Chains A and B, each alone.
Chain A
Amino acid sequence: MINDMIAIISDHWLLLLIGQYPNGPLGGLANTLILSALSIALAFPVSILFALARLSKWRMLRWPVTALVYITRGVPLLMLILWSYFLVPLLTGADVPSFVTMLTTLVVYQGAFLSEVVRGGIVALGHGQMEAAKALGHSYLGAMRFIILPQALYNMIPSIISTFVSTIKDTTLGYVINVPDLTFAANQVNNQLLTQPFQVFLILAIVYYAICWSLTQVANIIERRITRRRAGETRGPAVPAEPRPIALEQP
């Protein structure tokens, strides 16, 4: 059985790693990682905008974004993927590759999730920061840019990493619209072999486990460091903050 798995890997490692790249679109593990990294990189600014809109005093800004965030969180990701598979080509009027469709979905979805984290971070800072910044002559945007966001975002670093992990897990759902990622490549391998599905999917699970587990460890280490630093900064009896494991969002 282990020999079978080693044989599968040595025969198909290139397909699993980059898909049919020189002859076709980039796929495999490389595409999974690029897709996740891109969607986090784009979801991050989107989430800040969402959070600011939800904290805004203008209803025109607050209500639509609040509705969007609630809808995104109450509907399965799969349904959102189907929506963008249908809407993105319709709105852009072009034949969009499934990679872009999946990217759009993930940006909206993770943007909505992260915006709650950003909003929580901003609210947790309290009114005092904003009032003090205004008293010192900052405008609202200046205070946000120089005082509030740097503090709120610093505390967010671990949850950004854990969102990255859950994004990697979410990219697997691109399978339903044929995004050429690692899961897709594993299915191709399985269709070529036909006789060893268990071995192929076990390899797939192990690869995902290795990536997500190591990223989770990194997130936990950083979180511990941030907690320690914050505990050091506060005056008075430093509360020994218990390092709690990061709750991963579910795929």
Chain B
Amino acid sequence: MKGFDLWAILNNADYTAMLLHGIEMTFVIYIGSWLLAMALAFSLLCIRFSPFRFGDRLVAGYVSYHRNVPTLVQLMLWYFGIFTLLPDWMTSWLVAHNAETIFAILGLGLCQAAYFSEDLRSGLRSVSTGQMEASKALGHSYLSAMRFVILPQGVRNALPPLINHSVSLFKNSSIAIVIGAPELTHAVKEVENLSFRTFEIYVIGTVLYLFFSLLIMAAGAYLSMRADPLRGAAR
């Protein structure tokens, strides 16, 4: 049994290169799926608030599916299931372009969109109806009232759950290891297999995840502070 020695890993150029690549891919997956989820969440919200009853049901079904099925199973369904049903030209294109990462972004993004859209919806619902009536009385159209009055308040109300779910999306990006995406956990396992220094590399992996999670939380806290309308005002 070798003694505890972090530098055996950190001083090795190969290992650090693997870890850095893992961090890079984790962020590719994280940022990709975050953007996809946010865009989709706003689209779902538009369908929810549109007058069609059918669209409402559809979105409710979408949210219910993605919240009640484990993320791992969703990723498996995408990568092992839907991947095989695609036409050949698409499959070969995907294989040539890092299919694991693409499906990880797709699966995590679609799943997270359900959570984000629910956060935004409850944020918007907490804006009182008087706000909409008042802005209409002031001559705003529906869309411009949404844009200038309702959404800024609604998104601000939704910030705390959105930040929490952004952090959990970052943590969930580690699930992509199951479909073989080359992200941070994958890199940790690889270095472990090569170096046999399990304890050291797990400590490094844990510290890295913890650092980035705390960073995202801190960014969220800064954002909520900036968004606070009472900032700078006498309390």
- A contact residues vs B (CB 8 Å cutoff): 71, 73-79, 82-83, 86, 165, 168-170, 172-173, 175-176, 183, 190, 197-202, 204-205, 208-209, 212-213, 216, 244-245, 247-248, 250-251
Are the C-beta atoms of B82 and A198 separated by less than 8 Å? yes
The chain B residue with its CB closest to the CB of A211 is B68
Are the C-beta atoms of B81 and A74 separated by less than 8 Å? no
Contacting residues of chain B (204-235) with chain A, CB-CB under 8 angstroms: 205-206, 209-210, 213-214, 217
Q: List 21 A-B contacts (CB under 8 A).
A: A73-B213, A74-B171, A75-B209, A76-B185, A79-B185, A79-B209, A82-B188, A170-B70, A172-B73, A183-B70, A183-B72, A190-B80, A198-B80, A200-B81, A204-B73, A208-B69, A208-B73, A245-B118, A247-B161, A251-B71, A251-B175
A140 shortest CB reach to chain B, Å:
32
Are the C-beta atoms of B72 and A175 separated by less than 8 Å? yes
Are the C-beta atoms of A78 and B177 separated by less than 8 Å? yes
* Bound-complex Cα distance A204 to B76 (A): 10
Is B84 among interface residues, defined by CB-CB distance under 8 A?
yes
Is B77 among interface residues, defined by CB-CB distance under 8 A?
yes
Q: Which of B84, B168, B199, B205 contacts A250 (CB 8 A)?
A: B168
Are the C-beta atoms of A250 and B178 separated by less than 8 Å? no
A56 shortest CB reach to chain B, Å:
24
Size bracket, chain B contacts: 35 or more
B216 shortest CB reach to chain A, Å:
9
* Bound-complex Cα distance A216 to B21 (A): 39
Say whether, besides A172-B72, A212-B68, A216-B68, A201 and B81 are in contact (CB < 8 Å).
Answer: yes
- B contact residues vs A (CB 8 Å cutoff): 64-65, 67-74, 76-77, 80-82, 84-85, 115, 118, 122, 161, 165, 167-168, 171-175, 177-178, 185, 188-189, 198-199, 202, 205-206, 209-210, 213-214, 217
Are the C-beta atoms of A201 and B202 separated by less than 8 Å? no
A72 shortest CB reach to chain B, Å:
10
Q: Which residues of A contact B165 (CB under 8 A)?
A: 250
Are the C-beta atoms of B202 and A173 separated by less than 8 Å? no
